[in-house]
Amino acid sequence: MKYSHKLSDAVHIMAYIEICKGQILSSSEIAKSINSNPSLVRRLMMYLTRDGLLITQKGIAQPILARDSDEISLFDIYSAITDEHNLLHVDDKTNPDCLVGGNIQSVLESEYSKVQNAAESEMKKISLKGIIDGILVRQGASVGK
């Protein structure tokens, strides 16, 4: 199974931009923090800008959040960077002549919808500010060790 890190990378970008605001925040600098490449950062920032979460200016490496971090939810970021908004996917190539294969898709779609709704509801409760505060608290804890 292939996992996508787009959401965690996009949250990382948003947190980095807020924590390091006022500094030069080129895609290369941000990519170093993610341990990725600048083109991934630029692509994710394009989605975040398109959905009104970031403000960027061509030629100026100082992106800023478009709203206060407590007004941006994990769901907002997820919606901005995800084309396919389903966390779980049903295998559509089951055997329709089999008792299980012929019926499991519709049953799982119903159950997966419940999971999706619950996940989205929880994501809406998590603010970018809460994530940033968690980062700063952990940083403070690690400095004291």
List 54's β-bridge partners, or say none: 65
Q: What pLDDT score does 120 carry? A: 95
Q: What pLDDT score does 1 carry? A: 53
Which of 106-110, 127-131, 141-145 shows the lowest mean pLDDT across its residues? Answer: 141-145
Q: What pLDDT score does 86 carry? A: 81
Q: What pLDDT score does 4 carry? A: 77
How large is the average pLDDT for residues 21-45?
95
145: confidence class by pLDDT, cuts 50, 70, 90: very low
pLDDT in tens, 73-124: 999 999 999 877 788 889 989 999 999 999 999 999 999 999 999 999 999 9
Per-residue pLDDT for 18 more than 80?
yes
**Coil vs helix vs strand at 1:** coil
DSSP state of 55: E
Per-residue pLDDT for 7 more than 70?
yes
Question: How many C-beta atoms lie closer than 10 Å to residue 141's C-beta?
Answer: 9
Per-residue pLDDT for 142 more than 60?
no
pLDDT in tens, 52-79: 999 998 888 899 999 999 999 999 999 9
- Residues with Cβ within 8 Å of 47's Cβ and at least 6 positions away in sequence, in order, are 10, 80, 81
Determine the Cα angle at 142 with ends 138 and 145, to 5°. 145
- Check: CB of residue 81 under 8 Å from CB of residue 6: yes
- Check: CB of residue 48 under 8 Å from CB of residue 55: no
Helices (H), ranges, the chain: 6-19, 27-34, 38-50, 74-81, 104-125, 128-143
Question: How many C-beta atoms lie closer than 10 Å to residue 100's C-beta?
Answer: 9
- Check: CB of residue 75 under 8 Å from CB of residue 116: no
